[in-house]
Structure 1
Amino acid sequence: MPQVRLAGLGDEAAPDLAGQIDAVAELGWNRLELRTIGGTPVAALDEDAFRRAAGHLERAGTAVAAVASKIGDWSRPVTGDFADDVRELEVLARRCAVLGAPLVRVMSYPHGGLDEPEWGRRVRARLRELARRAEDHGLVLAHENCAGWAGERADRMLDLVAGIGSPALRLLFDIGNGVAHGYPPLPMLREIVPHVVHVHVKDARAGARGQVVFVPPGEGEARVAECLDVLFRNGYGGVLSIEPHVKLQPHLRSGTGDREGFVACGRALERLLARPACAAGGRR
C-alpha cells in the first residue's frame, strides 16, 4: 500500500479558518480541503478576505489538498448560465496557484428539466471546455460521485473521463455517498478506481423513515474499510479527506461545523488505517 495523506473538509469542523486549522492540528495533520470560510465559498471571498486566509494558512504551515467549487453541483442545473462556472474556475485557478492546491472539486449538473440525451450532451460540452481551461492553468478537475448526470453511475463517469480525454478531468470518490444516494459503493469504486485522484471519507447508515444517519468511518454501511483496501490495492496514493456530515450537511443547507465530531471521525479513520492490511503504508 502506498503512503497516504490525511486531510479534512475544514468547514465540517468550524466555520472560521482558525477553527478549521486547529481541528486538523488536533489530529496531528497539516492539510485542509477548503469549501467555505466564514460560510463563504472560496471563490466568492473578496480579495482582502482571500489574502488574509492564504496568509493564515501559510503561517500555520497548513497545506490545501483541494478546493471545493460549486461548478455543476446541486445548486447549478445544466440549463443555467455557463458563464458562472467559467468565472468561478478563473477565480479558483488564480487562488489555487496561491494556495498550492492542485485539485478543484466539481460535479456534473442537475438536469434542469432536460431529457437524458440532451442533459448528457450539455454536461459533456461544459466539462470538456472547463477541462481545457483547467489544463491551461495546471489544475485538475475532480468529478465527485454526487449531484448530476454522472453522479450515481460509474459508466457515465467513465464516459466523461474517456470521452473528454483530458488529464485535467479525473474522479473524486466519496465513500459515503452511495449510502446517501441509494447504491452500493464498492461496485462503483471497482469500476472507476484507476481514475480516482481524491477521496472523501464518510460513512452512513439507513435511519428511520428512510433518513440517512452519518456516522464515523467504519460504523456504517458504506464498507469503508473494504473501499480503502480496493484503493490501496490499486495503487492509490492521493489524499483521504474526511467529510463527516455529522452536523454540517451543505446540500441540505443545514447545520454547522462540529469540531468534536470532526476529530472523532478523523480518529476513526486512523484506526481503520492501522489495521494490518493498511499498517505497512504509514502516513505522510
Structure 2
Amino acid sequence: MTTPSALQEHNSFATPSTSWTLSGFGDEISPDPHAQIAVLEGLGARHIEVRSAWDTNVVDLDEDQLSTLAAIVKTAQFSVSAIASPIGKVDVTLDPDLEVQRLRRIIRVAKALDTTNIRIFSFYPAPGSSMESVRDEVLLRMRRLADVAEQAGVVLLHENEKGIYGDIPERILDIVESVGSANLRLAWDSANFVQVGVRPFDDGYTKLRPYVDYLQVKDALSSTSVVVPAGEGDGQLRETLAALASDGYDGYASLEPHLSSTHSLGGFSGPYSFGLAARAFRGLTDELGIELR
C-alpha cells in the first residue's frame, strides 16, 4: 500500500510549472462533433480524442465524413490528441490481416486529422482459451501492427482494456518488451485496471512507467466495477498523478468518463456528466499543482 509519506514525496515534485494537455473523448459528450468541441472548449480544453462522429466509428468514416470532421476541428482551432481506434478489440483467432487492413484505414484518419497517436488493444482470447495459450498469437499480431506503424510514422498506444491479453501489468509489460518497437507505447487507464482486480499504482506503475505516453482519465470502484469520476474510486489516481508529475510526464490527459453507459466500443456520459468528470479531475490536478492547458 502507498504510504502517506510516499505520496507526499511525489507531491513535493509537482509544481505549478508541471503542465499537461487536457483532451477528452468527444463522443462521450454527443454524437455531433460541433457539440463535442463546444463542451470541451467550455471545460478549458483545446484538444479532442476522436473515437466516433455522427455515431460512426472512426474505422468506418467515409471520405466526406472525414473531410467534414477535419474542417470542424480546424475551424474550432482544436487539435486531435489521438484516434481512439477499435484495433485489436477482436477475437485473436480472426485472420490477422483483417486488423492490419483496419489499421491502415485508421492511419488514413490519423493523417487527415493531423495526429500520430492511435489507441489499440491486444485481442480477446477465444471463449474457453487461457491467456497463456494465446500469447504467441497475440505477439505475432502486435508485431505486425507495430510494423505498419513504423512504416507510417504513427505511434500505437496500447490501452489496458479488461479481458484482452494486455489487461494486467505483467502481460502488458510482456507485450511492449517482446515487440520491442518505439512505435508501440502505452495508454494508462486506472479504471480498467481496477475492474480486473489490479491496484493500478501499487501493482503497475513501476513496471509500466517507462512505456507510458498517454493518460486516459477515469476511475472505478473495486467492489462493483462501477466507473466514477477521478479520485472517487479505487484507481489510486492521486498517487498515479503525483508520480507522473514527479517523473516529468508532460503529455495528454484525456477524459473518458463512462458515467452514463458503456458498450463494446466505448461509453457515453453526456455533457452534464462529462463536466462533472472534468471538474473532479481538475480538482485533483489543482491539488497536486498540475496545470491543465
- Asked if Structure 1 and Structure 2 have the same fold, meaning a TM-score greater than 0.5 normalized by the shorter chain, the answer is yes
Q: Does 1:263 find its partner at 2:278?
A: no
What's the secondary structure of 2:292's corresponding residue?
coil
CA distance in 2, matches of 1:106, 1:43: 12
User: Per the alignment, do residues 252 and 8 of structure 1 end up closer, same or farther by CA in structure 2, a change over 3 Å counting?
Assistant: closer
Q: Does 1:221 align with 2:237?
A: no
CA distance in 2, matches of 1:145, 1:17: 26
Q: Residue 112 of structure 2 is aligned with which of 98, 108, 125?
A: 98
- The answer to whether 1:88 aligns with 2:102 is yes
Alignment of 1:174-185 (within 5 A): 174-185=189-200
Structure 1 segment 9-158 matched on structure 2, within 5 A: 9-73=25-89, 76-113=90-127, 114-158=129-173
- Per-residue Cα deviation, 1:110-169 (whole angstroms, up to 9, x for no partner): 111444444110110111011011011110111111145543221221121111111110
Judged with a 3 Å threshold, the aligned counterparts in structure 2 of structure 1 residues 47 and 160 are, in CA distance, closer, same or farther, namely: same
Quote the offset at 1:51 in angstroms. Answer: 0.8
1:166 is aligned to 181
Gaps of 5+ in 1: none
SS of equivalent to 2:161: strand
Query: CA shift at 1:201, angstroms?
Result: 0.8
The letter for the 1-side match of 2:36 is Q
SS of 1:58's equivalent in the other structure is helix
The answer on 1:283 being equivalent to 2:292 is: yes
Equivalent AA in structure 2 for residue 96 of structure 1? A
Confirm or deny that 1:246 pairs with 2:259: yes
CA contact (8 A) 1:64 1:99 kept: yes
Amino acid at match of 1:104: I
2:9: which partner in 1? Answer: none
Match of 1:197 in 2: 213
What is the CA distance between 1:173 and its match in structure 2? 0.6
Deviates more, 1:233-242 or 1:111-120: 111-120
| Contact map agreement 2:162 2:195 (CA 8 A) in 1 | no
Shift of 1:171: 0.8
Contact 1:4 1:240 in 2 (8 A): yes
Larger mean Cα displacement after TM superposition, 195-204 or 91-100: 91-100
* Pairwise CA distance, 1:83: 2.4
Alpha-carbon shift at residue 212 of structure 1 (Å): 2.7
Instruction: Point out the more displaced range, 116-125 or 239-248.
Output: 116-125
* Equivalent position amino acid for 1:282 in 2: E
* Cα root mean square deviation, aligned: 1.8
One-letter amino acid of the structure 2 residue matched with residue 233 of structure 1 = S
Q: TM-score under structure 1 normalisation?
A: 0.91
Name the CA distance, whole Å, in 2 between partners of 1:99 and 1:156.
32
The structure-2 alpha-carbon separation of the partners of 1:180 and 1:115, relative to structure 1 and needing over 3 Å to count, comes to closer
Q: How much does 1:84 deviate?
A: 2.2
Name which of structure 1's ranges 172-181 and 128-137 shifts more when overlaid on structure 2: 172-181
Q: How many pairs does the alignment contain?
A: 275
Deviation digits for residues 41-93 of structure 1 (CA, Å, limit 9, x no counterpart):
112111111111111111011111011111111xx100012222112111111
Q: Which amino acid in the other structure matches residue 57 of structure 1? A: V
How far has the Cα of 1:180 moved from its partner?
2.1
**TM norm structure 2:** 0.88
Amino acid in the other structure paired with 1:271: G
Please say if residues 217 and 254 of structure 2, whose CA atoms lie closer than 8 Å, have aligned partners that are also in contact: yes
Determine the C-alpha separation between the residues in 2 that align with 1:252 and 1:162: 27
Percent identity reads 34
Equivalent residue letter for 1:218 = G
> d(CA) in 2 for partners of 1:66 and 1:129?
20
